[in-house]
Amino acid sequence: MEVISLAGGSSYFTSPEPAVSAAVAALHNAKNEYGPTEGSLELRRSICRRYETYGLALPAERVLVTPGVKQALFNLFSVLLRDEDEVLIPTPAWFGFHELLRYSRGKLMELPTQAIDGYKLTPEMLRRSIRPKTRILLLTNPGNPTGRTYTREELEALLHVVNEYPDLYFVSDEIYDFVTYGQPVTPALCCEGAKAARTVILNGFSKSFAMSAWRIGYIIGSSDLIRKCTDFQAATLSGVNVFTQAGARAAMEKREQELPAMLEALTENRRIMQKGLDAIPHVHYYLPDGAYYFFPDLSYYLNRTSITGEQLKTTADLCRYLRTCYNLELAPGDSFGSPGHVRMSFAVEKHRLQDAMQRLRQGLMLLITA
Q: Please pick, from the candidates 4, 6, 9, 353, the single residue that binds ligand PMP as defined by CB under 6 A.
A: 9
Distance CA 304, CA 320 (A): 13
Burial of 348 (0-12, 13-18, 19+ CB in 10 A): buried
> Which residues from 122-151 bind ligand PMP, rule CB under 6 A?
140, 144
CA-angle at 340, arms to 338 and 345, nearest 5°:
75
Candidate list 16, 68, 92, 106; residue touching ligand PMP; CB under 6 A:
68
Is 204 a residue that touches ligand PMP (CB under 6 A)?
yes
| Interaction mask 23-62, ligand PMP, x per CB under 6 A | ----------------------------------------
- Per-residue binding string, ligand PMP, 152-191, x by CB under 6 A, is ---------------------x-x----------------
Biggest alpha carbon distance in the chain? 66
Query: What is the closest distance, in whole angstroms, from the C-beta atom of residue 174 to ligand PMP in the complex?
Result: 9
Q: Nearest distance from residue 23's CB to ligand PMP, in Å?
A: 17
Report H helices in the chain. Answer: 17-29, 41-52, 69-80, 95-101, 123-129, 152-162, 223-236, 242-253, 255-278, 315-326, 350-369
CB of 202 to ligand PMP, least distance (A): 7
Using CA atoms, how far residue 219 sits from 106, 252, 302, in Å, is 19, 15, 41
206 binds ligand PMP (CB under 6 A): yes
Q: Among residues 7, 25, 50, 96, which is the contact residue for ligand PMP, using CB under 6 A?
A: 96
Among 5, 163, 212, 362, binds ligand PMP (CB under 6 A): 212
Torsion angle, alpha carbons of 220, 222, 224, 229, to 10? -20
* Sign of the dihedral defined by the CA atoms of residues 271, 277, 280, 285, in that order: negative
Q: How far is the CB of 289 from ligand PMP (least distance, A)?
A: 15
Of the candidate residues 69, 201, 273, 331, the single one contacting ligand PMP (CB under 6 A): 69
**What is the C-alpha to C-alpha distance for residues 143 and 150, in angstroms, rounded to an integer?**
9
Q: Which of 217, 239, 290, 296 binds ligand PMP (CB under 6 A)?
A: 217
Per-residue b or e along 144-168, where b marks 16 or more CB atoms closer than 10 Å to that residue's CB? bbbbbbbebebbbbbbebbeebeeb
Which spans of this chain sit near ligand PMP (rule: CB under 6 A)?
9, 68-70, 94, 96, 140, 144, 173, 175, 204, 206, 212, 217
